[in-house]
């Protein structure tokens, strides 16, 4: 009986340990810490939504073509906490986004810092990203 309980606790503990390493929609599952990017372009749309937001951005490539980026942001509660408002976004505005590129999808990025046209800068990263200093604590 004691052995059985011990085994159950052991398996449960192991599962918890696995969960911790990949917890919270892990950054590492989708984004490459070694591919920092700075995007300057036009915000075509902002989805102010849970569980995290999306900035759709068009940038001009060196060869003249336009690349359509999809940039993940933190949840609205986090964005609000860092001073952003839904009204700060208008379709067609220019902006600079710093972040990290997706592993599988080269047009996907994890946003870390957003700089608006008026120069205001915001932390837009989700919990669990790399320690790149983007978040001012």
Token match 């004691």: residue? 2
For other proteins, how many residues bind (rule: CB under 8 A)?
A: 15
Question: Which position among 2, 4, 136, 137 is part of the footprint of other proteins (CB under 8 A)?
Answer: 4
Q: Is 8 an interacting residue with respect to other proteins (CB under 8 A)?
A: yes
User: For residues 79-110, b (16+ Cβ closer than 10 Å) or e, as one string?
Assistant: beeeebeeebbeeeeebebbbbbbeeeeebbb
3 vs 63 by CB, closer to other proteins: 3
Q: Is 76 an interacting residue with respect to other proteins (CB under 8 A)?
A: yes
Question: Which position among 68, 86, 117, 120 is part of the footprint of other proteins (CB under 8 A)?
Answer: 86
28-67: which residues touch other proteins (CB under 8 A)?
Answer: 29-30, 48-51
Q: Is 20 an interacting residue with respect to other proteins (CB under 8 A)?
A: no
Q: DSSP of 78-132, one letter per residue?
A: HHHHTT--GGG--TTEEEEEEEEEESS-TTEEEEEEEEETTS-EEE-PPTT----
- Binding positions for other proteins, rule: CB under 8 A: 4-5, 8, 25, 29-30, 48-51, 75-77, 80, 86
């Amino acid at each position: 009986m004691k052995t059985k309980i011990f085994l159950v606790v052991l398996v449960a503990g192991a599962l918890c340990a696995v969960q911790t390493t990949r917890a919270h929609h892990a950054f590492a599952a989708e984004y490459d810490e070694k591919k920092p990017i700075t995007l300057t372009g036009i915000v075509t749309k902002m989805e102010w939504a849970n569980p995290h937001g999306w900035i759709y951005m068009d940038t001009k490539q060196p060869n003249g073509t336009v690349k359509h980026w999809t940039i993940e942001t933190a949840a609205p509660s986090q964005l609000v906490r860092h001073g952003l408002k839904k009204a700060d976004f208008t379709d067609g505005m220019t902006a600079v986004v710093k972040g990290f590129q997706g592993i599988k999808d080269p047009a996907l990025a994890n946003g870390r810092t957003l700089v608006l046209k008026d120069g205001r800068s915001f932390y837009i990263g989700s919990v669990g990203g790399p320690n790149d200093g983007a978040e001012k604590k």
